[in-house]
A and B are shown apart, each in its own frame.
Chain A
Amino acid sequence: MSVQIQSLTRRAPNASRKMLDGVSLTIEDGAFVALVGPSGAGKTTLLRTIAGLDGPYEGTVLVDGQVLAGRPMRERRIGFVFQNYALFRHMTVARNISFGLDVLPRGERPDRGAIAARVAELLELIQLPTLGGAYPDQLSGGQRQRVALARALATKPGLLLLDEPFGALDPIVRRQIRRWLRGLHDQLGLTTVLVTHDHDEALEVADRLVVMQNGRIVQEAAAETLDAAPATPFVMEFLGEALEFAGRVAHGRFLPDDPNVLSFAVSAGDGPATAYLRPHEARLVAAGGAARAIPLTGGQGGLRRLAVALGTREVEILVLPERLGQAGTEGLGLDIGRARLFRDGAPLAGAPPVASGQELPRVTVG
């Protein structure tokens, strides 16, 4: 099922603050989309509005080209999984799963046997075939999570909405369920929208990321595009640790304010600019400045952490272990040739293609 949202605005009750501010978004049939952003960005509000949980709002929400507001829920074919699962405490797992079928009007309701068969099938699908008689209180977090999913899937929805579904799980279970969910999405041909504040999670499981901030969509793109060409410094910083260097562009070169940072070529108009890059994208070179490097404990992904003392401040970068030899030497320069440049919060048109690193595709910003 596809979703089209056009200039959707929602206000907080009793306040003029906009929880969603002119949001437009298209989700294609079969897509797996993650809504990411800091808390309060409007992700959950957007998800709940698509589900039809909160009203009123301005703008249109179309699912498969149709307005759903006011239509009975069972005609909408939407499955929703809550952050805390919202399992019915007083019902067994099986009754929880069959609830959506039990409440169908008599004419449409499958007979008892068919419902039982569907529940058994779903229990099998969530790999809890023996737990139909248990109560939610007796389950672990991961099991509850899967029951909530089965309950949402019982009525065969085309659109699956998940609100921070992994928030309460420990890291190992989280990873397992994430993979399992992605498999389920592909297997059942669902359209899935996932809300999370964890960008790593979103990067791993979703095809496309929608980054939100203050009730607006800041950028919507595939994971690699987001990192290579973030639309704002916020997106850059939200997706991971970023180093920031102020400076200006003159005569086709970016000139950092700090003399120990090397300039590099750009094809942009003259004026002030700010460069952002990931700590692992910076490199130390043997000349061109007066920086000193001090090795730090720790690192990540096989890289080691290094503190670089520049003129007025210190930044931390990640380097390959074999380059740790540079530590202790003086008179170093910092090469930030792979930085993304911004001016007034927008990407600088004509900034250089990210100097090709092995792990990054070449992307130009249009």
Chain B
Amino acid sequence: MGGPSRRGNAVLVAATYLTVLAVLVLPVLLVMVEALRTGIAAAWRSLLDPDALSAIRLTLLVTLVATLVNTAGGIMAAWLVTKYRFRGRGVLVALIELPISVSPVIAGLVWLLLFGRQGWWGGWLDQHDIQIAFATPGILLATLFVTFPYVARTLMPFMEQQGREAEEAAFLLGAGFWRTLWRVTLPDARWALLSGILLTTARGIGEFGAVSVVSGHIPGLTETMPLHIETLYNGYQTVAAFTMAALLALIAMATVLLRSFLEHDFRKASS
């Protein structure tokens, strides 16, 4: 094997552990320590606070809807882009990936430009007493934008190397579009799909910047979990802030671990 020598390997491993520990593990450790500083009971109580519960509820609702919409859209877009060849395909892929490189603050701002009081349709909405900006719909829109690409992006490479023979076979055997998608393509791509959904969910739950711009920051009403963390932290409720942070950190850890296993799985399945 062309690997490094025994001593070289030891140095490399040590340096890697040190980097991972200092850069990646230390912060997560700190979150847990800070959350449990006054005991697990206090941490648990802080989660049962009505504002905290409301933030959790709002976050789950918004993430659920955003994930559903972007999963459906992502599946259709991935199908379109990988099963057909047409001009403008590259532009479509670029558009799908665009939100990744857009600052979260901008992802919030754009919705204010449409639905804010000074926005294109702000006046009309005001007259009809419809609240989008600084309310749940605005938070949902911001989350939709931020979580937009992930299902499509995870599915596309997998479905690309799937080819289209299985779909053609299903079609020749009499299956229509929905049936082919549901019974042939998606079952085969299920791990990639699940991995994409996981990432979408994690990004949705954790989104801060975009949501912060379009939320009215009203505790108990328009605060998601990350926004509530900010409020708590700035109000010097450190334990409560870190308890909620720990909850989110655990979700993030579970997500990356699960995704790593899934990816291993579908890489193996596709080779």
- B173, A155: Cβ atoms under 8 Å? yes
Report the minimal beta-carbon distance from B156 to chain A, rounded to whole angstroms: 19
Report the minimal beta-carbon distance from B251 to chain A, rounded to whole angstroms: 29
For A161, give the chain B residue with the smallest CB separation: B172
Chain B interface size range: 20 to 34
Number of A interface residues at 8 Å Cβ cutoff, please give it: 27
A152 CA to B172 CA, complexed, in Å: 9
- B87, A14: Cβ atoms under 8 Å? yes
For A79, give the chain B residue with the smallest CB separation: B172
Q: Mark A90-124, 1 if CB is under 8 A from B, else 0.
A: 11000000011001100000000000000000000
Residue from B85, B169, B179 within 8 A of A86 (CB atoms): B169
Residue from B87, B172, B184 whose CB has the most chain A CB atoms within 10 Å: B172
- B173, A90: Cβ atoms under 8 Å? no
- B173, A151: Cβ atoms under 8 Å? yes
Residue from A13, A53, A84, A89 within 8 A of B172 (CB atoms): A53
Complex interface: chain A residues within 8 A of B190 (CB): 90
- B188, A99: Cβ atoms under 8 Å? no
- B173, A86: Cβ atoms under 8 Å? no
- A82, B173: Cβ atoms under 8 Å? no
B183 located at the interface, meaning its Cβ lies under 8 Å from any Cβ of chain A in the complex = yes
A73 located at the interface, meaning its Cβ lies under 8 Å from any Cβ of chain B in the complex = yes
A254 located at the interface, meaning its Cβ lies under 8 Å from any Cβ of chain B in the complex = no
A274 CA to B56 CA, complexed, in Å: 86
- A103, B172: Cβ atoms under 8 Å? no
- B87, A155: Cβ atoms under 8 Å? no
- A73, B188: Cβ atoms under 8 Å? no
B235 located at the interface, meaning its Cβ lies under 8 Å from any Cβ of chain A in the complex = no
- B165, A86: Cβ atoms under 8 Å? yes
- B169, A103: Cβ atoms under 8 Å? no
B42 located at the interface, meaning its Cβ lies under 8 Å from any Cβ of chain A in the complex = no
A86 CA to B168 CA, complexed, in Å: 9
Report the minimal beta-carbon distance from B91 to chain A, rounded to whole angstroms: 15
A84 CA to B188 CA, complexed, in Å: 16
A53 CA to B165 CA, complexed, in Å: 10
B166 located at the interface, meaning its Cβ lies under 8 Å from any Cβ of chain A in the complex = yes
Complex interface: chain B residues within 8 A of A72 (CB): 174
A321 CA to B176 CA, complexed, in Å: 62
- A103, B173: Cβ atoms under 8 Å? yes
- A103, B188: Cβ atoms under 8 Å? no
A88 located at the interface, meaning its Cβ lies under 8 Å from any Cβ of chain B in the complex = yes
For A74, give the chain B residue with the smallest CB separation: B174
Q: Mark A140-157, 1 if CB is under 8 A from B, else 0.
A: 000000000001101100
A52 CA to B174 CA, complexed, in Å: 12
Q: Apart from A73-B172, A74-B174, what are 7 other A-B pairs with CB-CB below 8 Å?
A: A78-B172, A86-B169, A88-B187, A99-B183, A100-B173, A103-B173, A103-B183
Nearest first, the 4 A-B pairs at minimum CB distance are A74-B174, A100-B173, A86-B165, A86-B169
B-side interface residues toward A, CB under 8 Å? Answer: 85, 87, 165-166, 168-176, 179, 183-184, 187-188, 190, 269
25 CB-based A-B contacts, threshold 8 Å: A13-B85, A14-B85, A14-B87, A53-B171, A72-B174, A73-B175, A80-B169, A82-B165, A84-B165, A86-B165, A86-B169, A87-B166, A88-B169, A88-B170, A89-B166, A90-B190, A91-B187, A99-B170, A100-B174, A103-B174, A103-B179, A151-B173, A152-B172, A152-B173, A154-B173
